[in-house]
A = this chain, B = another copy of it.
Amino acid sequence: MDHAQARSWLATALAEARAGLAEGGVPIGAALHAADGTLLGRGRNRRVQDDDPSTHAETAAFRAAGRQRSYRGTTMVTTLSPCWYCSGLVRQFGISRVVIGEATTFRGGHDWLAEHGVEVVVLDDPECVELMRDFIGKHPDLWNEDIGA
């Protein structure tokens, strides 16, 4: 896909991540777009805010999009490389593409997704890297809890 388009979609996920940070949460955001580009759902990690370990950014965006008959052609945009939980979500539901803000501070299952036919775009966005690097430095226990480490 066009990187300018990917960067423009990343802005929504980044706004979610920043909102999560402001709430004292894990600053990861995501957005799910339809094949025609329509925003279907957006969300952020809510472990701290809702005391809910099951709400990662990607699962929040997926949930916000509501029930869909098919995910063919959809794109999951996320500020951070998706963990196995969120990678499994993408594979199971046949989400066609994943746009990733950065995979420097954490590397999840995106190579596995690419092997299974998902289009993967890693943007190496410096703002996403800085957000996570700063958060991990300040809250290593919370970060480890969030990824089961």
Contacts and interface: CB of A to CB of B under 8 A. Distances in A.
Interface of A: 47, 51-55, 59, 62-63, 65-71, 83-89, 91-94, 109, 145, 147-148
Nearest to A54: B63
B63 A148 contact: no
Nearest to A50: B63
10 contacts: A52-B63, A53-B62, A54-B62, A55-B63, A85-B91, A85-B92, A86-B88, A88-B89, A88-B91, A92-B148
B67 A63 contact: no
How many copies of this protein are present in the complex?
A: 2
Contact of A84 (B47, B65, B88, B145): B88
A interface SS class: loop
A59 B55 CA distance: 9
Contacts of A54: 54, 59, 62-63, 89
A109 B63 CA distance: 22
Contact of A89 (B70, B71, B85): B85
Nearest to A58: B54
Nearest to A63: B54
Nearest to A72: B148
A81 B136 CA distance: 34
